[in-house]
Amino acid sequence: MLTTSSTVTGKSRVRTNIHGRSYVYSSMPLLLTKIEGKGNGIKTVIPNMSDVARALSRPPTYPTKFFGCELGAQTSFDEKNDRYIVNGAHDATKLRELLDGFIDKFVLCKSCKNPETDLIITKQEEIIRDCKACGERTGVDMRHKLTTFIVKNPPKNPKKSKGTKKAATGDSPPPEAAENDDADGEGDDDELTRRIKAEAAELNTETAITQEDWSADTSPEAVRARTKAVEAAMGGLALGEGDESDEDADSPYSQLSHWVADNRDAGPVELFKKVEELGISKKHKTVQVIGQYLFTENILSEVTKYAPVFIKMVTSEKHQKSLLGGLERVIGLTHPTLISLVPKILMAFYQIDVLEEEIIQQWGTHVSKKYVDRETSKKVRKASEPFLKWLEEADDSEEEEE
Q: What is the CATH number of the domain that holds 63?
A: 3.30.30.170
CB 401 within 8 A of CB 167: yes
- What pLDDT, on the 0 to 100 scale, is given for residue 221? 58
For the cut 80, the answer to whether the pLDDT of residue 320 exceeds it is: yes
The answer to whether position 116 is within a domain reads yes
Mean pLDDT (whole number) for 321-337 = 92
The domain spanning residue 198 has which CATH number? 1.25.40.180
- What pLDDT, on the 0 to 100 scale, is given for residue 83? 92
Mean pLDDT (whole number) for 267-274 = 91
| The Cα angle at residue 218 between residues 213 and 223, in degrees rounded to 5 | 145
Mean pLDDT (whole number) for 236-259 = 62
The verdict on 184 and 140 lying in the same domain is: no
Q: Is the dihedral of CA 25, 4, 28, 11 positive or negative?
A: negative
The verdict on 137 and 178 lying in the same domain is: no
For the cut 90, the answer to whether the pLDDT of residue 104 exceeds it is: yes
Domain boundary among 152, 176, 196: 152
For the cut 70, the answer to whether the pLDDT of residue 161 exceeds it is: no
The verdict on 118 and 230 lying in the same domain is: no
Domain boundary among 99, 117, 152: 152
Instruction: Read off the pLDDT of residues 357-383 as tens digits, 9 standing for 90 and up.
Output: 889 988 988 888 889 998 999 999 999
Q: What is the spatial distance between Cα 307 and Cα 299, in angstroms, rounded to a whole number?
A: 12
The answer to whether position 1 is within a domain reads no
For the cut 50, the answer to whether the pLDDT of residue 84 exceeds it is: yes
For the cut 90, the answer to whether the pLDDT of residue 38 exceeds it is: no
The verdict on 48 and 116 lying in the same domain is: yes
- What pLDDT, on the 0 to 100 scale, is given for residue 224? 53
Instruction: Look at 2 and 276; give whichever has higher pLDDT.
Output: 276
Mean pLDDT (whole number) for 78-90 = 91
- What pLDDT, on the 0 to 100 scale, is given for residue 27? 62
Closest to 280 (Cα-Cα) out of 313, 240, 247: 313
The verdict on 274 and 134 lying in the same domain is: no
Domain boundary among 131, 152, 173: 152
- Residues β-bridged to residue 15: 24
Instruction: Look at 47 and 233; give whichever has higher pLDDT.
Output: 47
Q: What is the spatial distance between Cα 285 and Cα 385, in angstroms, rounded to a whole number?
A: 26
The verdict on 196 and 148 lying in the same domain is: no
Instruction: Look at 345 and 39; give whichever has higher pLDDT.
Output: 345
For the cut 80, the answer to whether the pLDDT of residue 2 exceeds it is: no
- What pLDDT, on the 0 to 100 scale, is given for residue 142? 92
- What pLDDT, on the 0 to 100 scale, is given for residue 246? 41
Q: What is the spatial distance between Cα 150 and Cα 122, in angstroms, rounded to a whole number?
A: 12
For the cut 60, the answer to whether the pLDDT of residue 233 exceeds it is: no
Q: What is the mean pLDDT of the chain?
A: 76
Q: Count how many domains the chain has.
A: 2
The verdict on 102 and 135 lying in the same domain is: yes
CB 135 within 8 A of CB 116: no
Type of residue at 76? S
CB 221 within 8 A of CB 352: no
- What pLDDT, on the 0 to 100 scale, is given for residue 172? 41
For the cut 80, the answer to whether the pLDDT of residue 169 exceeds it is: no
Percent of the chain whose predicted confidence (pLDDT) is above 90: 42
For the cut 90, the answer to whether the pLDDT of residue 215 exceeds it is: no
Instruction: Look at 203 and 265; give whichever has higher pLDDT.
Output: 265
The answer to whether position 286 is within a domain reads yes
The verdict on 222 and 274 lying in the same domain is: yes
C-alpha dihedral (188, 193, 194, 200), degrees to nearest 10: 150
The verdict on 138 and 175 lying in the same domain is: no
Closest to 155 (Cα-Cα) out of 293, 62, 286: 62
Band (pLDDT 50/70/90 cuts) for residue 249 is low
The answer to whether position 157 is within a domain reads no
Closest to 292 (Cα-Cα) out of 240, 340, 343: 240
The verdict on 125 and 193 lying in the same domain is: no
Residues in the chain: 402
The verdict on 230 and 138 lying in the same domain is: no
Gyration radius of the chain over CA positions? 27
Q: Which domain holds residue 289?
A: 162-401
For the cut 80, the answer to whether the pLDDT of residue 315 exceeds it is: yes
Name the phi and psi angles at 332, rounded to 5.
-80, -30
The verdict on 316 and 347 lying in the same domain is: yes
Give the count of beta carbons closer than 10 Å to the beta carbon of residue 106: 22
Closest to 285 (Cα-Cα) out of 250, 243, 330, 249: 243
The lowest-confidence range among 196-205, 250-259, 363-372 is: 196-205
The answer to whether position 177 is within a domain reads yes
Q: Is the dihedral of CA 92, 102, 62, 55 positive or negative?
A: positive
Instruction: Read off the pLDDT of residues 110-152 as tens digits, 9 standing for 90 and up.
Output: 988 889 899 999 988 899 999 988 888 999 999 999 999 999 9
| The Cα angle at residue 162 between residues 156 and 163, in degrees rounded to 5 | 110
